[in-house]
Amino acid sequence: MGSIIETLNNLLDQEAKDLTQAAKYERTEARQGYRAGHYDRNLTTTSGNVTLKVPKLKGIPFVPYALFREMEDNIPGSFLDKPAWQKVQHEFQINSA
């Protein structure tokens, strides 16, 4: 199970790196946002439940593709027609409740 968690966390980190255009603690002219820690997210896989460390970003919206795909399977069709920022708000409200 450790390798599944490591692989998924690495994918999330890479996605955040690509979005910010900088690695953790890296200072560049091209940087688009800043990391602000992470939050834990439980994900159910065929191998069982895993807890991922999802990067939090400041200055740019970040909805991890891998986690968003999982949400699509559990959400009514009309939700999928909303703009991305409304989807992020909806996800935040679900997790905050």
Amino acid at 30: A
Per-residue model confidence as pLDDT tens digits over 8-49: 888 888 888 888 888 888 888 888 888 899 999 888 777 788
| Cα distance between residue 1 and residue 38, in whole Å | 21
Q: pLDDT category, 2, cuts 50, 70, 90? A: low
Per DSSP, 27 falls in state -
What is the reported pTM? Answer: 0.62
| Cα distance between residue 32 and residue 38, in whole Å | 18
Question: How are the residues of the chain apportioned to helix, strand and coil, as percentages rounded to the nearest 5?
Answer: 45, 25, 30
CA angle, 37 as apex, 68 and 54 as ends, to 5°? 20
Q: pLDDT category, 78, cuts 50, 70, 90? A: very low
H-only helix segments in the chain: 2-20, 65-72, 77-80, 84-96
